[in-house]
A and B are shown apart, each in its own frame.
Chain A
Amino acid sequence: GDSVTQMQGQVTLSEDDFLFINCTYSTTWYPTLFWYVQYPGEGPQLLLKVTTANNKGISRGFEATYDKRTTSFHLQKASVQESDSAVYYCVLGSNSGTYQRFGTGTKLQVVP
């Protein structure tokens, strides 16, 4: 079946550090891919999405490239701030387009 994998459970960075969160997926089709972010006490919210292979999504300084060759959708940010501390989920859209499947999430902690 389809799946999405995030190997990093937690990442701790200092302000202005470069962020890289790994995400890979396994499907038999070309899915829509999403990154959601969840701040403490809130539900997840959309950060960015990409519907077409080899395209890049950009939002709030974050970017992710849909790489169909490596089946990856890594999240990057050049310079993180303390306010970026949250849990980041890589998410896979279903083939039917009716639901979305979440990865295990990566908790980012940014220290001043």
Chain B
Amino acid sequence: DTTVKQNPRYKLARVGKPVNLICSQTMNHDTMYWYQKKPNQAPKLLLFYYDKILNREADTFEKFQSSRPNNSFCSLYIGSAGLEYSAMYLCASSSRAETLYFGSGTRLTVL
């Protein structure tokens, strides 16, 4: 079962409020990723967990946090949402950076 699940599918948040997005995979993959997708832009890698080690992109280092309490779950946390965070957030997993398996995404709208 090559399934990555993301919850919720749609999320509405208020400016200044925290946001927590959830992702799970059942393939025992060692790496989980979060990408941000805005219209007419490439999916942008935000961060990834290789096993228990978190790697965050330099230009989004302070904007996003993440946790991976076990191999199957990974969350993406925004401490204080701004309008610029409105986007589709895609979670993916892989084994040894081979094929990425994506969830269907969470569309975040910040008002």
Contact = CB atoms under 8 A, between A and B. Distances in A.
Interface string A77-111: 00000000000010001100111111111000000
A45 interface: yes
Contacts of A89: 42-43
B50 A98 contact: yes
A61 interface: no
Interface SS, B side: strand
B35 to A, nearest CB: 7
Interface SS, A side: loop
B45 A101 contact: yes
Interface residues of B, number: 24
Contacts of B102: 42-45
Interface residues of A, number: 21
A98 B31 contact: yes
17 contacts: A42-B102, A43-B102, A43-B104, A44-B43, A44-B100, A44-B102, A46-B99, A89-B42, A89-B43, A93-B97, A98-B31, A99-B33, A99-B55, A102-B35, A102-B42, A104-B40, A104-B42
Interface of A: 9, 36, 41-46, 49, 89, 93-94, 97-105
Interface of B: 4, 31, 33, 35, 40-45, 48, 50, 55, 90, 92, 96-97, 99-105
5 closest residue pairs by CB, A with B: A43-B102, A102-B43, A104-B42, A102-B42, A97-B97
